[in-house]
Amino acid sequence: MFSGSSAPSPGADAPPSPARGRGQSKSLLSLLLFFSPTRERGQSKGLLSLLMLSLSPACGRESPRSGGVRAHRLVKASLSGLLLTVLCLPVQAQQPVAQPPTVSVLTFAPGEIYWQRFGHNALLLRDEASGRATVYNYGIFDFQQKNFFLNFARGQMLYQLDAEPLRRTLQLYRAEDRWIYEQRLALDEAQRREIAEFLQWNAQPENAQYRYDYFLSNCSTRVRDAIDRVLGGSLKAQLHGGQLSPATFRSEVTRLMSPDLPLAIGMDLGLGPKVDEPLDRWSHAFVPMSLMQSLREAKVADPETGLSKPLVEQEGWLYESDRIKEPEQAPNLLWPFLALGVISALAVLLLARARAKPVARITLALAGLMFYATASVFGLVMLAGWLLTDHWGMWSNQNLLLLNPLALLAIPVWAQAFRADWRPGPKAQRVVRIIALLAATASLIKLLPTAPMQNNAAWIALLLPVHAALFWVVLQLGRGLKAVAK
């Protein structure tokens, strides 16, 4: 359990009652202070507070005497109160009315649903005076949102910030048996006040929504940016640049999604070269668990000594569980895909040699049709992701050379392969040749020093042998070699 932290008290959800000044003053200024819309805003209420204080019993009380003496004392008391107000104003304006909350980062373990695989984090504000603890969560989305799935497909999805009691958050993640880790930040009073006011503003309905980007603007990067904002950019200065990690956006996506292997493979196929650049710690913070580690290593300046000290002043578990483990590394698809690609190519060649038999001929025709139909469908999806959406991670995908929309043109060619006397003509051979050469370009492009490097060797190993085998079959059948027809 996190040392020094506790769950909110039973009355923690109720907001603190506004201060009404000293004693039971019934002055007009007391009423103005109470109903002022800025009564919770630090220095903005300093003048009204001081004026009320100058008229309170502590600043003198009206004498019961009457006549000139009473009038004289009233004027004197008023002038004294005004003088006290002027003298105290600079001092009072620098002192916050309420103690700002402590600020922590909560990190949550990955979950079992696919959108939970990447973990989660949020900011926690604890009001030590009232016991209220509020979690600010940037990871809220709504399936009922207008055009949700269309916006998702176009890369224009809206997420939003939500504030909820810590108790509710703990109940949710404990019910899912996902660990919860708290890191309390060593922020000074001004920084804690600034981040609290920013989050309160950001949580307002008119400010809560933001344009979601999985790599650049998600729940974790928003937490990172809010902290960096109050630190004046010092967090980014520490995490940006420097030594790059071997991790990339692609490797982290496939690593964390690997428990759902088909989804991990599909995401790997759809991502282009822009996600293959090595990450510094600033960019790596799109993963909540990576941000947790970076915060542990970050430093801030001590306002009293000027020396650096750890940004995390205290940390520990709010809930421990090891049921759901974070995958250690991304799956290596190269060798399984190479073996599958070679076996598939050999199967095509063997079926071609035995196509005199109806079973072999039909199987070969179906294999060709399915391969090119699948290639064209995936190619159209990847092309649409590049040209029609804001999913920048899908742009310039070199797998388009392997799964090419032009494969649609090969479907009519292979639709005739059910006939025993099938002999592809020059046009059919030309179509299949172009498709195969484009697939070969996916590997040749690796030799160009200026070409963007995409980590798609596994897909080349899987698909290029099949392209080559299907092209060889069409070429040989087109030439009418009897050895192939037997």
The pLDDT value recorded for residue 480 is: 67
Q: What is the pLDDT of residues 174-200, one digit of tens each?
A: 999 999 999 999 999 999 999 999 999
List C-alpha distances in Å: 267 to 58, 249, 250, 261. Answer: 70, 11, 8, 10
Question: Helix (H, G, I), strand (E, B), or coil: what is residue 442?
Answer: helix
Question: What does the radius of gyration of the chain's CA atoms come to, in whole angstroms?
Answer: 34
Angle at 465 between CA 464 and CA 470, to 5 degrees: 100
Spatial strand order of the sheet with 158-165 comes to: 209-211, 158-165, 133-140, 120-126, 102-108, 180-185, 312-319
The pLDDT of residue 363 is 98
Q: Which residue ranges in the chain fall short of pLDDT 70?
A: 1-97, 480-486
Instruction: Name 73's Cβ contacts closer than 8 Å, sequence gap at least 6.
Output: 62, 63, 65
Angle between helix 261-270 and 358-387 (nearest 10): 60
Task: Give this prediction's pTM.
Answer: 0.77
466-484 pLDDT tens trace: 999 999 999 999 886 444 4
Q: What is the pLDDT of residue 5?
A: 40
Q: What is the pLDDT of residue 483?
A: 43
The DSSP bridge pattern shows strands 120-126 and 133-140 to be antiparallel
d(CA 255, CA 251): 6
